[in-house]
């Protein structure tokens, strides 16, 4: 496993992180077994993964509670990442969506952040959060200025409740505002070899300013593992339904792409998942890949991708192939 610093925080984290969204279950992910999730997290720790990324909104706190259970007794070996800004406790904030009978808001007011951090500390059963992200920007009709939000986060950092600050799903202008008001160590955007939008501006910006990229969905919700074949039927409400690459015609193109790398997986004695993860974390400015998984074997497999080093010509070949794939139809 390779390890890299989160921004300029001094915190060393594994290049492969465990994304814990699915551990919360619910309508997006369906039934989940908390005991198996605990075993999956612990398998990841044993395999060298120390970065675990969760959020209060993942199962309405369930994911954080499961993570807390899993790392008990091993807390000092873990880099815990969670978030604030998705709020459903009362009417404060800007309407976001409704789910499971809850009216969810975007809210980055200092008072709600202070409430959220305490709730997360309780669920995670810890006294500090290593990396604390704002999950989504505040918007009208409750547009808390970033400077106000950042002042609160810097105060929490001074108190020792959080160690580093990140922002997710933000623009360059918004990152400018975060940096003007404090220290921004990480950005968490969407990225996979099938969705490289951030390469145009976000990656160069973060490289220039020493901001780590913690990419979510690097395996494109499992499609890039090669294990979701043409016979897989997506259930109603499943999050994958909203991803164009899962449409049958597009899915076949991706499967054909992956099949063309059989010689690479053979040469590196690895799986497709591991090959894709290795390519992802080798991209300039791409610091960490947050890979979701709920089963111990899947987490161990993902961890293996953090120790594979692809040659420059292999990286270039894979990029040429994904660029030739084009966009989904």
What residues act catalytically? 58
Q: 161: which residues sit within 8 A by CB, 6+ positions away? A: 117, 121, 127, 128, 129
Structure tokens at 121: 């500390």
What's the CA gap between 170 and 19, in Å, rounded?
A: 19
Alpha carbons 275 and 225: distance in angstroms, whole number = 9
Cα 154-23-64 angle, rounded to 5 deg: 35
Residue 135 to residue 165: CA distance in whole angstroms? 11
The residue behind tokens 């952040």 is 113
* Residues 80, 163: Cα–Cα separation, whole Å: 10
CB 27 within 8 A of CB 57: no
What is the Cα gyration radius of the chain? 19
- The span from the CA of 300 to the CA of 43, in Å, is 6
* Tokens found for residue 258: 């992956």
The whole-angstrom separation of Cα 247 and Cα 3 is 36
Tell me 235's DSSP state.
Answer: P
- Asked if residues 163 and 129 have their Cβ atoms less than 8 Å apart, the reply is yes
Residue 195 is classified by DSSP as: B
| Residue corresponding to tokens 């987490």 | 299
Give yes or no for a contact between 16 and 291, defined as CB atoms under 8 angstroms apart: yes
């Amino acid at each position: 496993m390779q390890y890299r610093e989160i921004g300029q925080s001094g915190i060393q984290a594994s290049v492969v992180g465990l994304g814990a969204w699915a551990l919360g279950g619910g309508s997006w992910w369906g039934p989940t077994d908390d005991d198996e999730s605990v075993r999956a997290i612990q398998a990841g720790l044993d395999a060298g993964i120390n970065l675990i990324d969760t959020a209060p909104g993942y199962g309405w706190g369930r994911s954080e509670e499961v993570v807390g259970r899993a790392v008990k007794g091993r807390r000092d070996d873990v880099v815990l990442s969670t978030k604030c800004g998705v709020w459903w406790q009362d009417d404060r904030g800007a309407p976001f969506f409704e789910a499971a009978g809850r009216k969810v808001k975007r809210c980055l007011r200092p008072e709600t952040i202070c409430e959220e951090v305490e709730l997360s500390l309780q669920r995670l059963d810890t006294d500090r959060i290593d990396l604390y992200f704002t999950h989504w920007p505040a918007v009208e009709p409750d547009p808390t200025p970033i400077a106000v939000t950042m002042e609160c986060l810097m105060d929490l950092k001074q108190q020792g409740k959080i160690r580093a600050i990140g922002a997710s799903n933000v623009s360059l202008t918004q990152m400018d505002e975060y940096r003007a008001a404090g220290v921004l160590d990480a950005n968490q955007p969407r990225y996979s070899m099938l969705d490289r939008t951030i390469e145009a501006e976000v990656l160069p910006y973060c490289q220039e300013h020493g901001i780590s990229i913690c990419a979510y969905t690097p395996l494109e919700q499992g499609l890039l593992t090669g294990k979701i074949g043409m016979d897989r039927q997506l259930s109603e409400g499943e999050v994958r339904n909203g991803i164009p690459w899962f449409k049958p015609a597009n899915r076949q193109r991706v499967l054909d792409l992956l099949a063309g790398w059989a010689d690479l997986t053979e040469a590196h004695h690895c799986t497709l998942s591991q090959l894709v993860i290795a390519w992802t974390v080798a991209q300039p400015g791409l610091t960490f890949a947050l890979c979701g998984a709920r089963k111990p074997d899947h987490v161990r497999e993902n961890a293996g991708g953090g120790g594979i080093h692809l040659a420059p010509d292999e990286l270039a070949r894979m990029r040429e192939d994904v660029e030739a794939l084009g966009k989904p139809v």
